[in-house]
Structure 1
C-alpha cells in the first residue's frame, strides 16, 4: 500500500510539472496528410543533432505545459532534422539529402534539400505553414515559451495578414501580453 501511494504521488508530481505532457510530433509527410482531412497550421522545428540552442528549445520551450497544450490544440507539430536523411514530398517535389554521410549522423552533415528550399540557414528555426502548407514565416533562433507564444498566436489567429510593414509588427509586439508561464 505504501508503494502505491508513493507511485501515485510521483506520477501526480510529474504530471503537475509537465513531464507527462508532450507535443504530438509527426513527420512533415504526416502533417501534410492530416491537413487534407482536418486543416490546421503547421509548426516545424528545424533542428540539427549537434545544435545546443536546438536542445535548449526542446527542453525549455517544447516541454513547457502552456506551449504543449497550445501547440497540440492548434497546430500539427513537425520535428525536421535539417541535416537528416529523410525523403520528403512537398508541393509535388521530392526533397532528400543526397550528400548525407551516415558516419557524421551526430555531427555537422550536409544540409537537406528541404532546409535549403525553406531558406533555413540557422538553427534552430521554427517554420510556420498555413492550412494549405504554404510557408508563412521562418522564425530563427532559440525562443523562450513567452517569445514563441507571440508567434503561435500571431499565426494561429491570422493576425500576420494585417502586418504589411515592420511598424505594424512592432505595434503588435508592444501590445502583446503573454499568458504562458516560463
Structure 2
C-alpha cells in the first residue's frame, strides 16, 4: 500500500515541480498603463502585433512565457499588448488615434506613431516613466536578447552606456 501512495502522490508532485507551468505577462491596455503610471510611475513596454503575424505568435509562445522574462516585466513594467490593426480608438496626450482603412488591411494610427512609420510586426516599444518612446525594437526577439533589452531599458543604462558595453558586463539569469 505504501508503494501505491508513493507512485500516485510523490512522483506526480515531483514531476509537477520539475516542470512548472509557464508564467504569463500581466498584459493591460495602453490606457490602463497610462492611468497606472500617473500614480505609480514605471516604464511601459508595448508589444505591437497583428493576428496574422507568424513571428508575433512565436514570440508569444517562446519569449513571453519564459519565467525570467515574465517575472522581470511584471515587476518592472506596465506591459501592453497592442494589436496594430485594432479598430478601437486610443486617446493619448490629448490626441485621439484611430484605425485607418487601407486596401485589404489597414492599421492603427497609434501603431504608426509609436513605430515611427515603420510598421513591422512584431515590434517592441519602450516608453520611459515620462511616457515618451525611448526605443523601438523591430522584429522577433529571442529570450537572450529580450532579457538584455528589458534590463537595459528599465535600468536606464542607455542614458550612460552604449549597448556593447552593457552587453559585455551583463549576467544572464536564463
**What TM-score do the two structures reach when normalised by structure 2?**
0.85
1:170 aligns with 2:164: yes
2: CA distance between counterparts of 1:15 and 1:122? 37
Equivalent residue for 2:51, pick from 49, 52, 61: 49
CA RMSD between the two structures: 2.6
- Could you say which residue in structure 2 is the equivalent of 1:87? 89
CA separation in 1, counterparts of 2:132 and 2:18?
A: 35
SS at 2:131 equivalent = coil
Partners in 1 of 2:90 and 2:16 — Cα distance? 39
Long gaps (5+) in structure 2: none
Query: How has the CA–CA distance of structure 1 residues 161 and 83 changed in structure 2, closer, same or farther, with 3 Å as cutoff?
Result: same
Q: What are the ranges of 5 or more consecutive residues in structure 1 without an aligned counterpart?
A: 102-107
Question: 1:116 offset after TM fit, Å?
Answer: 1.0
Partner of 2:24: 22
User: Whose Rg is larger?
Assistant: 2
The answer to whether the 8 Å contact 2:41/2:129 transfers is yes
Return structure 1 stretches of 4+ with deviation > 6 angstroms: none
1:73 aligns with 2:75: yes
Equivalent in the alignment of 1:105: none
- How do 1:10-159 and structure 2 match up within 5 A? 13=16, 16-19=19-22, 21-99=23-101, 109-118=105-114, 119=116, 120-159=118-157
Change in 2 beyond 3 A, CA 1:29/1:14: farther
Question: Secondary structure of 1:40's match?
Answer: coil
Contact 2:100 2:107 in 1 (8 A): no
Q: Check 1:86–1:16 CA distance in 2 against 1; reply closer, same or farther (3 A cut).
A: farther
